[in-house]
């Protein structure tokens, strides 16, 4: 029996005149960070405590992640995951920008299993100036696992950093909530297409269990339809332990649920992962 396993994991992170934010979107997006401020957080997730220090930073943040697995023998399996983020934030500007495109491709015995695509654009208004801010976003999604040929959505709403924002920047507990009106159009592969309006509520919690060492983070999206009983939700929870300047042990649990699916597709999807992450930031 011949078996080959290949695993590649690369994450490059560049931090500039501010730090990463994540406006409300229709997806719970996480990019692991080994810094004391989680790079997937809002503006309040900064490790910089003084405005003078923040003024010395640049305006852009980006990260690129690539990992994959290949095996042959009793099991023939190939899996490729690619994800990246690009964030712009300027304390002197009323506009913020964040995007986190992702791509996953996998086959089993030469049969296509995963072909998951997510492209999103998120913008904020007055995010750097206030704990209450405006947001608007759009996204395109394609999923072979859930038999979704295409899904488009666009939304507008408001967010509130309750703890850990501009008024309480040193709080170890970060809590924020946002709410948006979303228009969603889904083309299912072998099921009736859906065109709905949703209310999207995001609840985000982050706690520094041990400052600059051990972190807990969780994001939950609740997204019922405004016109019928078509609802969905997704959540992602992470526990990260920093073992070096750039290296962390990361455990994550993700769960999604959608009560309207193609025949043969389960309503719930759960992913649990544990491994090491590398960050180019300090």
**HEC string of 163-227?**
ECCCCCCCCCEEEEEEEEEEEEEEEECCCCCEEEEEEEEEEEEEEEEECCCEEEEEEEEEEEECC
Between residues 83 and 56, which one has the greater pLDDT? 83
In a domain, 50, yes or no: yes
| pLDDT value at 205 more than 80 | yes
Structural domain harbouring 167: 6-278
Q: What's the confidence (pLDDT) of residue 34?
A: 31
pLDDT for the residue numbered 210 = 92
CATH number where 156 lies: 2.40.160.40
Beta-carbon neighbour count of residue 75 at 10 Å? 9
> For the segment 100-155, what is each residue's pLDDT rounded down to a tens digit?
898 999 998 889 988 999 999 999 999 888 999 999 999 999 999 888 999 999 99
User: Cα(31)–Cα(8) distance, rounded to whole angstroms?
Assistant: 16
pLDDT of residue 117: 95
Query: Of the given ranges (63-72, 88-97, 155-164), which has the lowest mean pLDDT?
Result: 63-72
Indicate the range of 49-58, 102-111, 239-248 predicted with least confidence.
49-58
Residue 58: predicted pLDDT: 61
Query: Per the domain annotation, does 1 fall within a domain?
Result: no
What is this structure's pTM? 0.72
Residue 103 lies in a domain: yes
**Looking at the DSSP assignment, which residues form a beta bridge with residue 237?**
218, 253
CA-CA distance, 158 to 187, in Å (whole number)? 28
Residue 73 resides in a domain: yes
Taking only the tens place, the pLDDT of each residue in 184-194 is 999 998 878 88
Domain count, the chain: 1
| 18 lies in some domain | yes
């Amino acid at each position: 029996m011949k078996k080959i396993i290949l695993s590649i994991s690369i994450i490059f992170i560049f931090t500039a005149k501010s730090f990463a934010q994540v406006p409300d979107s229709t997806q719970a997006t996480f990019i692991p960070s080994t810094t004391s401020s989680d790079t997937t957080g809002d503006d309040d997730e900064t490790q910089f405590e003084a405005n003078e220090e923040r003024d010395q930073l640049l305006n852009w943040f980006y990260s690129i992640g690539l990992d994959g697995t290949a095996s042959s023998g009793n099991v023939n399996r190939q899996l490729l995951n690619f994800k990246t983020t690009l964030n712009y934030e300027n304390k002197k500007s009323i506009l913020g920008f964040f995007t986190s495109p992702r791509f996953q491709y996998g086959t089993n015995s030469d049969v296509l299993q995963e072909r998951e695509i997510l492209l999103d654009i998120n913008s904020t208004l007055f995010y750097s100036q206030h704990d209450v801010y405006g947001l608007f976003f759009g996204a395109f999604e394609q999923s072979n696992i859930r038999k979704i040929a295409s899904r488009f959505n666009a939304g507008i709403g408001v967010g509130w950093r309750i703890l850990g924002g501009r008024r309480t920047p040193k709080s170890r507990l970060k809590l924020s909530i946002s709410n948006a009106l979303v228009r969603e159009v889904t083309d299912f592969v072998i099921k009736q297409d859906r065109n709905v309006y949703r209310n999207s509520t995001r609840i985000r919690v982050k706690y520094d269990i041990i400052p600059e060492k051990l972190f807990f983070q969780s994001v939950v999206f609740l997204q019922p339809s405004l016109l019928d009983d078509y609802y969905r939700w997704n959540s992602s929870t992470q526990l990260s332990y920093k073992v070096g300047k750039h290296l962390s042990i990361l455990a994550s649990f993700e769960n999604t649920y959608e009560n309207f699916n193609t025949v043969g597709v389960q309503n719930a999807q759960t992913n649990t992962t544990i491994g090491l992450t590398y960050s180019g930031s300090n």
